[in-house]
Amino acid sequence: MATSEEQPPTTQPFTLEDPLDLIRLSLDERIYVKLRNNRELRGRLHAYDQHLNMILGDVEEVRTQIEVDEETMEEIFKTQKRNFPMLYVRGDGIILMSPPEKPTY
């Protein structure tokens, strides 16, 4: 029929035109996730959806609390770490995620 009809989708599976593509290319890689309440996660990405709900494996969570010394006004960073073998993370707490950590750069 007429060639002016609908074009087939030009989207290739491995382009980076959609922000979520960046996350898709990070599947099965270790990623960094920043969450609300000064929480950070590092873990292997097994699943995600459009809400940024995620399932991560071998996760380390780091919570950072800042305490200000009354006398010297110095900021003291205190971190607490927890580990989880397999963790579902609800997307509404996520601020940002970053692709695989490169060991050297």
Give the binding site for other proteins (CB under 8 A).
Answer: 9, 11, 13, 18, 20-21, 24, 27-28, 44, 46-50, 53, 55, 57, 84-90, 92-93
At which residue do the structure tokens 């609300």 appear? 36
Distance in angstroms (rounded) separating the CA atoms of residues 104 and 41:
20
- Which residue, 4 or 12, has its beta carbon nearer to other proteins? 12
> From the CB of 59, what's the least distance to other proteins, in Å?
9
- Which residue, 19 or 74, has its beta carbon nearer to other proteins? 19
> From the CB of 87, what's the least distance to other proteins, in Å?
6
At which residue do the structure tokens 């971190």 appear? 79
Q: Which of 92, 77, 83, 7 is nearest to 41 (CA)?
A: 83
Identify the DSSP state of 38: T
Q: Which of 91, 82, 94 is nearest to 36 (CA)?
A: 94
> From the CB of 22, what's the least distance to other proteins, in Å?
11
- Which residue, 90 or 101, has its beta carbon nearer to other proteins? 90
